[in-house]
Structure 1
């Protein structure tokens, strides 16, 4: 079912039936949520003239990614990048995608979402797992730092292996934040009372998504670059990308 190999010079696990490549995300702890330092970094971008329209909606929604808290994460597998159109077709052979330009592009699933989630032999990552994986040991706006992310940080098609590898973070994960990616958690505003062991939060209503900057490329003349930030979170509405997670395979 699983094969260990090196992908772009890093250890990886390949799910043999589907070909989906996963990275092992190590055990660790991190400060989850939008810190005051990150808020200040966005203010600094605003003062420097890096804002095209307004980031006030971002500041107004800051409370939805607070309070910051320490979260423990156990090791798990996470797909190297969101499922592509071709990979979704492994599970749903009749799948058609109206958003992607190529089979190697990120699949943005809408009507077939429930069918795909039922067909996948994987699970969705929790929000805590997603953010921990996106930060990859950093505490800045993105794993690149506190500067305004640019279009060069977007990755929406994985046909170019060299570019995919160049945009991986320290955990070997690419395109974190480019597409809006569904998490296992129900949407709840803020982190008050949230677990500290990376469990997903249950509840009624839509799930939470993370990322989504490439969904609005090239920013639509506004400031959707904030969707590339590690702490940004939204409620699911419409299409979504899927980056599956899985337990570590047995090494026996």
Structure 2
């Protein structure tokens, strides 16, 4: 089922049947949520004229990513990038994507989402796993730092090996924050009472979503870059990308 190999100069696990490449995310502990330091960094961007719109509504909504709490994450596998249209077609041969005609482009699923999730031999990452993977050991707004992310950080297709490799973080994961990626957790505003061991929160209702900067590309000057921030979260509505997770294969 798995092939251990090197992809873009880094260790990887390839799911042989589908070709989906996974990276091993090391275990560790991190602070999950929008920290005071990150909120201050956003206000510094505002003072420098880096916001196109009034940032206060976003900062108020950012309370959905609080309180910051320490979370322990066990090692796991996470797909190097969101599933592409061609990769989704491995499980759903008749899949047609309304948002891209490029087989190497990120698949954005709507009516086919439940069917894909039922067919996948993988699971969705929890929100804690997703944010831990996106931060990749950093404590800044994005893994690249506390400055305003530029549009060139967005990547939504993976045919170009060099561009895909350039979009990787320290864990070898590409395009974290570019597509809106659905998580295993049910949407709950805020982290009060959330588990400290990276388990997903379960229940009825919409799922939590992370990322989405590429879904509004080209940017229209409405602070779409905020969707790249590691702590940005919201409830699923409409289409979504899928970046599957899996347990470590036996060695």
TM-score (norm 1): 0.98
Cα distance in 2 for residues equivalent to 1:148 and 1:192: 28
Matched, 1:50 2:88: no
Give 1:149 shift: 0.3
Size of the alignment, in residue pairs? 251
RMSD: 0.7
Deviation at 1:60, TM superposition (A): 1.4
Whole-angstrom CA distance in 1 between matches of 2:83 and 2:149:
23
- Cα deviation for residue 24 of structure 1 reads 0.1
CA distance in 1, matches of 2:2, 2:178: 27
- Unaligned regions of 5+ residues in structure 1, if any? none
Match of residue 13 from structure 1: 13
Instruction: Tell me what 2:241 maps to.
Output: 241
Contact 1:13–1:21 (CA under 8 A) maintained in structure 2: yes
Q: 2:213 matched to which residue of 1?
A: 213
Where does 1:163-178 land on structure 2 (aligned, <5 Å)? 163-178=163-178
Which whole-Å CA distance do the structure 2 matches of 1:34 and 1:218 have between them? 26
Q: Secondary structure at the match of 2:12?
A: strand
- Give CA-to-partner distance per residue, 1:56-107, whole Å, 9 cap, x none: 2211111100000000000000000000000000010000001114110000
Give the match's secondary structure for 2:163.
Answer: helix
Q: How does 1:32-111 map to 2 (within 5 A)?
A: 32-111=32-111
Indicate the SS of the match to 1:5.
strand
Aligned to 2:23: 23
Q: How far apart in 1 are the matches of 2:167 and 2:102?
A: 20
SS in 2 for 1:54: coil
Give the TM-score taking structure 2 as reference length.
0.99
